[in-house]
Amino acid sequence: MALIPPMYIDCVVAIGTIVNGQQKWIGTGFLYGDLFEKTEDGSNKYVVYLVTNKHVLNNLDLILVRFNPQTGQSAKDYPAPLKDKDGKLLWTGHSDAEIDVAVLPVNINNVLDESMKCSFFQSDKHIADVKELQARETSEGDSVFVMGFPMGIVAADRQHVFVRGGVISRIKDLFENRSKDFVVDAFVFPGNRGGPILSKPEIISIQGTKSSNQSSLIGIIKSYIPYSDVAISQQTNRPRIIFEENTGLSKAEPVDHIIATIEEAKKKNPTT
């Protein structure tokens, strides 16, 4: 039995740019559908956004977004402008400087028309915000999956995402409004930034606690938490070299910050 719904895999995309004429993969993003109309037949309508970190998009005019094919042809890279002809940003970053979330409205019809694999997390079905996580009695030690493209590892003709397992390391500070983010114990590297975090379905639980058999989008990777290792000179007993290492702990933005950023984008451009 799959622990991650297959359509979740097709929500994730590699984000690249052009540096000195060469293609370079710089981060991860995913598609998020914001429900704007419910229909009687259940074919609800959504506005689709590319979600990633602000620092992935900063200082860029254009990015490349890769999608995998349905059949045997190569993957295709779609250019996504980040500015209009007047230089105005087309993407919206969360107004709080400490919250590293960005959204860009995208039209996926062309991608679907060209038979590429493309799906999106639906805001009314596939997410768990802070309130929902609390209702599920989410706690430290609960398992998660982190999806992305560490170190920009993307094949020449595909964009098969890497999935890594981990656990929630600290979340009570978020629940108690003492922190804006939460922490997962999962190794991430440059390239993982902007990737989705999913809850892992659990069949069993300790007596007296809830178990959840749902896999939901619960957040977005922000950055790994580093620590510094200092090399001391034996002659002078002074620091000579400082090495920055990856602790294996990573900061994560909750889904609530994605929702808030989309609301800011809609206010900026009501026709979106």
d(CA 144, CA 128): 13
pLDDT of amino acid 63: 97
| pLDDT at 204 exceeding the cut of 70 | no
pTM score, whole prediction = 0.91
| pLDDT at 272 exceeding the cut of 70 | no
Alpha helices in 125-182 (DSSP H): 130-135, 172-175
Alpha helices in the chain (DSSP H): 6-9, 54-57, 109-113, 130-135, 172-175, 255-268
pLDDT of amino acid 238: 83
pLDDT class of 269 with cuts at 50, 70, 90: confident
| pLDDT at 206 exceeding the cut of 70 | no
Stretch 77-89: mean pLDDT: 94
160, 223, 194, 72 alpha-carbon torsion, rounded to 10°: -10
Distance from CA of residue 47 to its chain's centroid?
18
d(CA 133, CA 155): 35
| pLDDT at 251 exceeding the cut of 70 | yes
Q: Which residue has the higher pLDDT, 203 or 236?
A: 236
Return the residue matching tokens 């114990």: 185
d(CA 169, CA 231): 29
